[in-house]
Amino acid sequence: MPGYRVTSMAFSERVSRLKSSLIREILAAAQRPQVMSFAGGLPAEVMLPKVDWTDMPLSIGQYGMSEGEPALREALAAEARRLGLQCEASQVLVVSGSQQTLDLAAKLYIDKGTEVFLEAPTYLAALQIFQLFGADCITVPLEADGPDLVQLRTRLAQHRPAFIYLIPTFQNPSAVRYSEAKRDAVAALLDEFGVTLIEDEPYRELTFDGGSATPIVSRLKTASWIYTGTVSKTLMPGLRVGYLIASPDLFPHLLKLKQSADLHTNRVGQWQALQWIGNERYRQHRSELREFYRGRRDAFQAALQTHFADLADWNEPQGGLFFWLRLKQPLDTRTLLNDALANDVAFMPGEPFFPEPDKHHGYLRLNFSHIEPARLDEGLKRLAAVVRQAQIDKAA
């Protein structure tokens, strides 16, 4: 290899905010087959549906529209209306996984120092991309039934955020689902203060008690909004097909940003998604998924009771893919990682899910969907032992 010059002085200022690769390292380590991983957010592989490609027309190979396939946009709009979200297909933009919605939103709103509101904790990759673009991330504490409304009002009175980013249904990482009352209250506050809402709902369909509250965006009267969803949790993440639905004032900008990002979402994945969205087969598959994950959730809850009852508190999640544990004796859970991996167990420390990690020690995010049941008990037992040892070491 030739000796490359040091060129990093020529990088953008934004690159100095690219986060360390802690999470990538955890997930890479979790790839080793012997590792019992609670770290990722992967669907269970056995539940990936059998898909058929035989009828896909060759013309799908051609360039497509930046907006997405017209029939898919219609189908997604119809599904959203069934959820109570009044919208037209013209407001639907098919994106390359709902992660791309965050990229487009960051481009649309964030300059260096732009204030944005987030839940604490919040989705790690959202936090990372908003910070990459230079956002000043202001948080609202999350309670068991949604955000602390007093704090939300206080912050709204003090700041002018470009938007608020919320995951009201089985949040990643906390598994919190907002109550009806808090959904209404949040919508009213955002209308009152004229703050745009970005509502991220990847987990909506993975509900274990049948609950289905309408999206917060559907309760807004005047505020602008972006609603985003995906087929990643209910069909196949490898397709990289997500969507956003936006209020008409935002859509044209998001469309241009999508075009400049990657021209359009891959049409093969869009075609496959269209074979499912809105039909009986998809309803059946989602019903089976819920059944399957409910079983895994139950088994996980039981194993947690066995191994973590004396170590941590948690709420049993009613949907989604995660348990969120709070240690009774808080410590920086990042310091547990090496020992856990040495014992072939991977988990996600809670600190990186907060903009100020060092003010929020003692949380662990545990994925319950992906681990094989046969290894669940052993994995949690080992993880509990790591926590116990760390607390002994700390006390010593």
Residues 309-328 that bind its own copies (CB under 8 A): none
How many other C-beta atoms are found inside a 10 Å radius of the C-beta of residue 15? 10
Q: Minimum distance from CB of 284 to its own copies (Å)?
A: 17
Note whether 17 binds its own copies by CB under 8 A. no
Q: Does 72 bind its own copies (CB under 8 A)?
A: no
From the CB of 184, what's the least distance to its own copies, in Å? Answer: 16
Decide if residue 158 touches its own copies (CB under 8 A): no
For its own copies, which is the closer residue by CB, 34 or 54?
Answer: 54
Q: What is the pattern of x (binds its own copies, CB under 8 A) and - over residues 207-226? A: -------------xxxxx--
122 binds its own copies (CB under 8 A): no
Round to whole Å and give the CA distance between 218 and 223.
11
Residue from 145, 209, 249, 393 in contact with its own copies (CB under 8 A) = 249
Among 33, 34, 50, 157, binds its own copies (CB under 8 A): 50
Q: Assess 272 for contact with its own copies (CB under 8 A).
A: yes
Under the binding rule (CB under 8 A), the answer on residue 71 touching its own copies is no
Residue 18 lies near its own copies (rule: CB under 8 A): yes
CB of 355 closer than 8 Å to CB of 137: yes
**157 lines the binding site for its own copies (CB under 8 A):** no
Candidate list 1, 150, 157, 392; residue touching its own copies; CB under 8 A: 1
* Sheet (strand 196-200) strand order: 92-95, 242-246, 225-230, 196-200, 163-166, 115-120, 136-143, 146-147
User: Which of 236/386 has CB closer to its own copies?
Assistant: 236
* Binding flag, residue 160, its own copies (CB under 8 A): yes
Answer yes or no: are the C-beta atoms of 96 and 265 closer than 8 Å.
yes
Residue in 37, 232, 234, 333 binding its own copies, rule: CB under 8 A:
232
Instruction: Tell me: does residue 395 bind its own copies (CB under 8 A).
Output: no
What does the alpha-carbon distance between residue 134 and residue 128 come to, in Å, rounded to a whole number?
10
Among 33, 58, 82, 395, binds its own copies (CB under 8 A): 58
Phi, psi for 166 (deg, rounded to 5):
-130, 150
In the window 177-196, what residues touch its own copies (CB under 8 A)?
Answer: 194, 196
* Contact stretch for its own copies (CB under 8 A) within 72-80, 208-216, 266-274, 358-366: 266-274
CA distances (Å), origin 331, targets 178, 304, 311, 366, 395: 28, 19, 12, 17, 11
Q: With binding defined as CB under 8 A, does residue 111 bind its own copies?
A: yes
Shortest distance, position 107 Cβ to its own copies, whole Å: 6
Residue 45 sits in the site that holds its own copies (CB under 8 A):
yes
**285 versus 382: smaller Cβ distance to its own copies:** 285
Question: Which stretch in 157-165, 290-298, 334-342, 381-389 sits in contact with its own copies by CB under 8 A?
Answer: 157-165
Contact between 129 and its own copies (CB under 8 A)? Answer: yes
Q: Take residue 331 and report the two structure tokens written for it.
A: 């410590």
Nearer to its own copies by C-beta: 158 or 222?
222
Q: Report the relative pairing of strands 36-37 and 345-346 from DSSP bridges.
A: parallel
Count, residues near its own copies per rule CB under 8 A: 92
